[in-house]
A and B are shown apart, each in its own frame.
Chain A
Amino acid sequence: MPKQIHLAAQLPGIHNVTVWSDPRSGSQIAIGSFVHLARTAERGKFDFFFLAEGLRLREHKGRVYELDVAGRPDNLTMLSALAAATTRLGVAATVNATFNEPYEVARRLATLDHLSGGRAGWNVVTSFDAFTGENFRRGGFLAEADRYSRAAEFLATARELWDSWHGADVPADPVSGRFVRPGAGAFTHHGGHFDIAGRFTTPRSPQGHPVVIQAGESDAGRDFAASDAEVVFSKYNRLEEARAFYRDVKGRLARYGRSPDDLRIMPTATVVVADTDAEAAAYADEITRAQVSPQTAIAHLEAVWGRDLSAYDPDGPLPDIDPEPESLVLKGHSVFRTGRAETARRWRALAHERGLSIRELVIEVHGGQTFVGSPHTVADAVDHFVQTDGADGFVFATHLTPGGLDDFVDRVVPLLQEKGVHRPDYTGTTLRDHLGLRRPPDTGRTSRTASAQWEGSAS
Chain B
Amino acid sequence: MNDSPLHLAVALDGAGWHPAAWRSEGARPGALFTPGYWADLVAEAERGLLDLVTFEDALGPQSAAPHRPDDRTDQVRGSLDAVLLASHLALLTTRIGLVPTVNVTHTEPFHVAVGIATLDHVSEGRAGWRPQIASRAADAAHFGRRTTPQLTDDDLRDPELIAARLRPLFAEAADVVEVARRLWDSWEDDAEIRDTATGRFLDRDKLHHIDFEGAWFSVRGPSITPRPPQGQPVVASLAHASTPYEFAARASDVVFVTPFDRAGATAVLAQVAEAADRVGRDLRDRPLRRFADLVVLLDDEPGAAARRKERLDALAGAEYTSDALVFTGTPGELADLLLDWRTAGLDGFRLRPGALPHDLTAVTRRLVPELRRRGAYRSAYGTGTLRERLGLPTPRNRYAGQG
Q: Residues of A with Cβ closer than 8 Å to B?
A: 20-21, 29-31, 35, 54-57, 63-74, 76-78, 80-85, 99-101, 103-104, 107-108, 111-112, 114-115, 117, 134-137, 139, 165, 170, 172, 174, 177-182, 184-185, 194-203, 293-296
Contacts and interface: CB of A to CB of B under 8 A. Distances in A.
Contact of B84 (A31, A35, A112, A137): A112
A282 to B, nearest CB: 20
A159 to B, nearest CB: 16
Interface of A is mostly: loop
A80 B85 contact: yes
Given A71-B187, A77-B115, A99 B108 contact: yes
Given A172-B29, A198-B60, A114 B34 contact: yes
Nearest to A20: B201
A135 B219 contact: yes
Given A100-B111, A136-B219, 20 more contacts: A54-B224, A67-B199, A73-B122, A80-B88, A82-B91, A99-B111, A103-B142, A114-B35, A114-B80, A115-B85, A134-B219, A134-B220, A135-B221, A172-B30, A174-B27, A179-B73, A182-B71, A194-B144, A197-B141, A295-B200
Contacts of A115: 35, 80, 84-85, 88
Nearest to A32: B124
Given A21-B194, A178-B73, A31 B124 contact: yes
Contacts of B122: 31, 73, 77-78, 81
B95 to A, nearest CB: 15
B139 A198 contact: yes
B30 to A, nearest CB: 5
10 nearest A-B residue pairs (beta carbon): A295-B199, A172-B29, A134-B220, A80-B84, A174-B23, A73-B118, A71-B226, A84-B91, A111-B81, A77-B118
Given A71-B192, A174-B22, A136 B200 contact: no
Nearest to A68: B201
B225 A29 contact: yes
Contacts of A203: 33, 78
Contact of A135 (B78, B110, B139, B216): B110
Q: How large is the interface on B (under 10, 10 to 19, 20 to 34, 35 or more residues)?
A: 35 or more
B311 to A, nearest CB: 12
A185 B119 CA distance: 28
B87 A201 contact: no
A180 to B, nearest CB: 4
Contacts of B219: 134-136
Nearest to A56: B224
Interface string B47-64: 000000000001111000
Contacts of A195: 144
Contact of B77 (A63, A72, A112, A184): A184
A74 B30 contact: no
B150 interface: no
B277 interface: no
Interface string B308-333: 00000001000000000000000000
Interface stretch (B202-210, B293-301, B382-390): B202-210
B202 A202 contact: no
Given A179-B75, A184-B78, A199-B60, A83 B88 contact: yes
22 contacts: A56-B224, A67-B201, A69-B201, A71-B225, A73-B122, A81-B87, A81-B90, A100-B108, A101-B145, A103-B143, A104-B59, A115-B88, A134-B219, A135-B219, A137-B108, A137-B217, A170-B33, A179-B73, A179-B77, A185-B77, A198-B138, A295-B200
The CB with the most chain B CB atoms within 10 A, among A56, A172, A195, A296, is that of: A172
Nearest to B31: A172
Contacts of A66: 200-204
Given A196-B142, A198-B60, A81 B226 contact: no
A80 B71 CA distance: 31
B216 to A, nearest CB: 8
Contacts of B76: 179-180
B226 A29 contact: yes
Contacts of B143: 101, 103-104, 196
B199 A293 contact: yes
A200 B34 CA distance: 18
Contacts of B74: 177-179
Nearest to B81: A111
A198 B137 CA distance: 11
A71 B204 CA distance: 12
A315 B253 CA distance: 54
Contacts of A201: 58-61, 77-79
Given A77-B119, A203-B33, A108 B90 contact: no
Given A64-B204, A179-B22, A111 B196 contact: no
B156 interface: no
Contact of A185 (B23, B78, B89, B218): B78
Contact of B73 (A65, A76, A180): A180
A165 B33 CA distance: 13
B61 A108 contact: no
A70 B315 contact: no
